[in-house]
Amino acid sequence: MIKFAACGLLAVLALAVPARPAGANIFPFPYKIDQLENGLKIVSIPLSNPAIISFYTIVRSGSRNEIEPGKSGFAHFFEHMMFKGTKQLSKAAYDEFLTRLGAGTNGFTSDDYTCYYVVFAGRENLEKMVKTEADRFINLYYTEEMIKTEAPVIEGEYNTSAANPGRRLIELLRDTAFTAHSYKHTTLGFLKDIQDLPNQFEYSRLYKKRFYAPDNTILLVAGDFDPARLLTLVRQYYGGWEKSAYALTTPVEPPQAEAKRAHYPWPSRTLPRLAIGFHGPAYSDESVDKAALNLMADIAFSPSSPLFQRLVNKEQKCLSLGASFADTRDPSLLIFNAVVKSAADLPYVEKEILKELERLKSELIAPDILADIKSNLRYSMAASLGTTDGVAGTLAFYINLAGDPGTLNKLFDLYDKIRPRDIQDMARKYFRPSNGTTVTLAAGDVQ
């Protein structure tokens, strides 16, 4: 399913975002892209909302970057360390600075990037924010002892995640489906690598030099500010940041030759779960493949779909049913998942999902249903752009993928052009048995 969510902490004043007809630009705001000599890209989006400014730092470092054996989890590790402070500004001083501004801040790590954001009020505070964030990224300071202190915290986060059967299932799916690409592991990484973090101080410095560099970073600023003033400040405070020039080459996942299966015996009582993943395409605002598959997921596996209505509401075999087709920089998985009420029904639910995929290969989706999905998708995107931080939070995801806010307009132009035949062609292309991996989870040894 396609979802749009802003990442910021603060609820801010709504922008006037008028409804737009199909074919009109879904992203209606002017923007400017600049780049410093060291490679740092600045995306400026001045908005009419008074006072509020969303300041996002997008580091193109996620689990995708962790290509060396034994080195998974470093992108997430740096998310933790980036809040430890510098020699000029300690963590306590940074927190106090944000408190004085009434600002909200946080960060998150994904497969493809790590995002840090601050939402604050007042044009008069822009220079303070640029100066402080530049210091935080250029002069991050931590010691070997700090890594040893933080490693148990990260391991605890992993253990909390691993106690969730749904997350454990996806971890198993990715580990089973991928053989070469770094999407094989989740953003938390493999447990053995997390446990080895205290011994990786020197490698952590190498990772920072490679990826926490201006030529791997995008500043995205939306709200009430002057773009020319912003650029002057960024040049002043970020201009001395040394570029990396490191070229990441992710391993190419070979075509899957035969169907795969795996099962996780859960050690205690839990509802059984099923996930089926097919290798799919990377994000594109030009090729029809991923866009057509996104529309298909919303049509055939949403709560309003016939399959959901039957398995969840009528037959009550499933507690939940859905499709998750993530937009990623490299080819990833097209995932169908279900929480099933009885382990005995796992084979039945799997069969019904596969039957639905076969139907999509042989039958065309009704044009009126496709038109409704496109309209709903356009409305959802417009709604996500309804606040200052909504604009920044939504764009952070797409700018990571394409580097330009204009990708949203290109993507929705592509959605407008997709026809039922395109969706059928993609179902035939990707939902082949040999391209699929099925994983199950249930209490005990039930499979």
Mean pLDDT computed over 21-41: 88
The pLDDT assigned to 14 comes to 38
The structure tokens 């990377």 sit at 282
Mean pLDDT computed over 286-291: 97
Mean pLDDT computed over 395-405: 95
pLDDT tens, residue by residue, 371-387: 999 999 999 999 999 99
The pLDDT assigned to 445 comes to 60
* Domain boundaries 260-443, corresponding CATH code: 3.30.830.10
Inter-residue contact 183 to 332 (CB < 8 Å): yes
151 is written with which tokens?
Answer: 């490693």
The pLDDT assigned to 24 comes to 79
The pLDDT assigned to 224 comes to 95
Which residues are CB-contacts of 393 (< 8 A; sequence separation ≥ 6)? 5, 6, 7, 8, 54, 56, 117, 384
- The pLDDT confidence band at residue 327, using thresholds 50, 70 and 90, is very high
- The pLDDT confidence band at residue 12, using thresholds 50, 70 and 90, is very low
pLDDT tens, residue by residue, 125-182: 999 999 999 999 999 999 999 999 999 999 999 999 889 999 999 999 999 999 999 9
Look up the pTM and report it. Answer: 0.91
Helix (H), strand (E) counts: the chain: 15, 11
Whether 1 has a pLDDT exceeding 70, the answer reads no
Mean pLDDT computed over 428-445: 94
Whether 212 has a pLDDT exceeding 70, the answer reads yes
β-bridge pairing 436-443 and 260-266: parallel
The pLDDT assigned to 100 comes to 92
The DSSP result for 2-27, as a single string, is -------S---PBP------TTS-S-
β-bridge pairing 41-46 and 32-35: antiparallel
In the chain, where the domains are located: 32-238, 260-443
The pLDDT assigned to 297 comes to 95
Query: What rounded mean pLDDT belongs to the chain?
Result: 92
Whether 49 has a pLDDT exceeding 90, the answer reads no
- Tell me if domain 32-238 and domain 260-443 are identical in fold: yes
Whether 208 has a pLDDT exceeding 50, the answer reads yes
The pLDDT assigned to 50 comes to 82
Sheet arrangement for strand 333-340: 260-266, 436-443, 273-279, 333-340, 318-325
User: 370, 374, 373, 364: which is closest to 428 by C-alpha?
Assistant: 364
The pLDDT assigned to 162 comes to 87
Mean pLDDT computed over 389-416: 95
Whether 115 has a pLDDT exceeding 90, the answer reads yes
The pLDDT assigned to 446 comes to 54
Burial of residue 334 (CB within 10 Å: 0-12, 13-18, 19+) is buried
State the CATH class of domain 32-238: alpha beta
Burial of residue 142 (CB within 10 Å: 0-12, 13-18, 19+) is buried
Could you give the CA distance from residue 434 to residue 108 in angstroms, rounded to a whole number? 34
Could you give the CA distance from residue 216 to residue 245 in angstroms, rounded to a whole number? 9
β-bridge pairing 32-35 and 273-279: unpaired
Could you give the CA distance from residue 442 to residue 165 in angstroms, rounded to a whole number? 9
Least confident of 73-77, 235-239, 275-279, 435-439: 73-77
Q: Provide, rounded to the nearest whole percent, the portion of the chain with pLDDT above 70.
A: 94
- The pLDDT confidence band at residue 16, using thresholds 50, 70 and 90, is very low
The pLDDT assigned to 447 comes to 52
pLDDT tens, residue by residue, 290-314: 999 999 999 999 999 999 999 999 9
Inter-residue contact 439 to 262 (CB < 8 Å): yes
- The pLDDT confidence band at residue 401, using thresholds 50, 70 and 90, is very high
The pLDDT assigned to 444 comes to 75
Whether 26 has a pLDDT exceeding 80, the answer reads yes
User: Helix (H, G, I), strand (E, B), or coil: what is residue 289?
Assistant: helix
